[in-house]
Amino acid sequence: MSSSTDIAAASRKLGTSERRKFVILISATAAVGGFLFGYDTAVISGAILFVRSQFQLTSVQTEIAVSVVLAGALVGAALGGYLGDRFGRRPTLLATAIAFGVFGLVTGLANGFALFFLSRLLVGAAVGVSSMLAPLYIAELAPEKYRGALVTLNQLAISAGVVVAYYVDYVLAGSGNWRWMFMSAVLPSMLLLVGVIYLPETPRWLAAKNRFAQAEEILRRVEGPYEVERDLAQLRELTAQDKLSLKNLFQQRFRRPLVVGVVLAIFQQITGVNTIVYYAPTIFRAVGFSSNSVAILATFIIGFVGLCFVVFSMLLLDKVGRRPLLFASLIGMTITLLHLSYLLGEPSPVKWQVLLDVIAYLAAFDFGLGPVFWLLISEIYPTTVRAQAMSVATFTVWGFDFLVTATFLTLAEKLGMRGCFLLFAVVCVAALLFAFAFVPETRRRTLEEIEKSWS
């Protein structure tokens, strides 16, 4: 074990600027997994208009084609925590990058619905692993004063992936070339693969495996002398006291973070965001947009606005905290959903007003509930079971994402578009009440301090 003097001397070799650049670089690299998450889930929104025609799909088959990636994400989320804890964060990210590229290519080359279904299922598994592992990786490396912004890089990358998917859909809509819509994901997957090769393992995972010398070496590259000494001391204390497994999350002291993560995961999915992300072109065609290309272009615009609001969120998370942004987000989502349900109840809704409401709704989501959820679940769980605990929350995300997406068209037939969005507004109010009562503030606290607070 190194002395305090040794740690300080080693840490001074890297200045603050160098350490900050290193953290940003590794966070941005890991966030490419978030980009692929966003791209591979959103690209179907434009592609489905052509896939449905190509394979002569019924309404039920169309729902399956859209939602199969979510079924795969369920599997990936369930396995991701175990893989991340068993083999390490870095090797698991490496395998995920390979899966994104291989199965994205196979999707585009599919010559029948069965192969299309299978390849999208396996892409979904990669999405499920990446969705929990990328923010986890960043959180375990980021200093607490920048952690909110750096973890939200992943949400920014997700939103960027959505926007790029919409743009690619728009560019290729004229030719109807849906195959390239999927195969274009190969490029970012190669970027992720090359980047991950040079990434370090996280110090928290190394400490959990009693590899403190390596953990110290990584910490010296991202934190100052005092923080390195403090974090090593806290990690030694916690790993000596708690040899936790997933079942320990059901103990009374950890019950609250488990409930917070799972319930927020449910609310994130049942407040309407995925119906808009996946079915936006379908909604716009229903209210009078003239063509597939115009509907996809409108979808690209709302995605771009959402991306801008994620940037806004990044600037505020470490200054004003997680809770204020979460409250503001849910209030904004409620108001826009109520107005959208009113518009869709009109005999001839004004399509540009519908577009503005959808833009405002996604801006509110991307400002708070979207990034804050992924940030919180990377912060609130104990070190020795963080990956598996995040798997529980992420599995819940994809389970309810699948449920909502697979039933939206059927639900819209029963309740109408107006009824669907009115229901989502009511759920937003429930989410706001839950967040006010149970969600903690984690700003400017180390992961180890947050863990101790549950006791």
How many residues are there in the chain? 455
Which domains does the chain carry? 4-453 (1.20.1250.20)
DSSP class of residue 160 equals H
Could you tell me the pLDDT band of residue 2, with boundaries at 50, 70 and 90?
A: very low
* Best CA proximity match to 374, nearest among 317, 431, 327: 317
pLDDT at 253 over 60: yes
Give the count of beta carbons closer than 10 Å to the beta carbon of residue 316: 18
* Best CA proximity match to 19, nearest among 224, 205, 315, 215: 224
Segment among 61-65, 77-81, 433-437 with least mean pLDDT: 61-65
Return the higher-pLDDT residue of 262 and 241.
262
Return the higher-pLDDT residue of 1 and 15.
15
Query: Do the beta carbons of residue 328 and residue 310 sit within 8 Å?
Result: no
- 172-230 per-position pLDDT tens digit: 888 888 999 999 999 999 999 999 998 999 999 999 888 999 999 999 998 888 889 99
The span from the CA of 41 to the CA of 34, in Å, is 11
pLDDT at 14 over 60: no
Burial of 383 (0-12, 13-18, 19+ CB in 10 A): buried
The span from the CA of 426 to the CA of 122, in Å, is 34
- 344-373 per-position pLDDT tens digit: 777 776 777 888 888 899 899 989 999 999
- Taken in order 114, 115, 117, 118, the sign of the CA dihedral is positive
Average pLDDT for 303-330: 91
The span from the CA of 334 to the CA of 331, in Å, is 5
- 255-281 per-position pLDDT tens digit: 889 899 999 999 999 998 877 766 666
pLDDT, position 382? 84
State the pTM of this model. 0.81
pLDDT, position 403? 83
Average pLDDT for 112-129: 93
Query: Do the beta carbons of residue 406 and residue 74 sit within 8 Å?
Result: no
Taking only Cα atoms into account, the Rg of the chain, rounded to an integer number of angstroms, comes to 22
* Best CA proximity match to 107, nearest among 36, 21, 10, 197: 36
Structure tokens at 144: 């607490």
The span from the CA of 274 to the CA of 272, in Å, is 6
pLDDT, position 45? 77
Return the higher-pLDDT residue of 14 and 390.
390
pLDDT, position 424? 92
Question: Treating both helix axes as pointing N-terminal to C-terminal, what angle do 273-286 and 16-42 enclose, rounded to 10 degrees?
Answer: 50
Query: Do the beta carbons of residue 39 and residue 162 sit within 8 Å?
Result: yes
Could you tell me the pLDDT band of residue 426, with boundaries at 50, 70 and 90?
A: very high
Return the higher-pLDDT residue of 221 and 406.
221
The span from the CA of 193 to the CA of 33, in Å, is 10
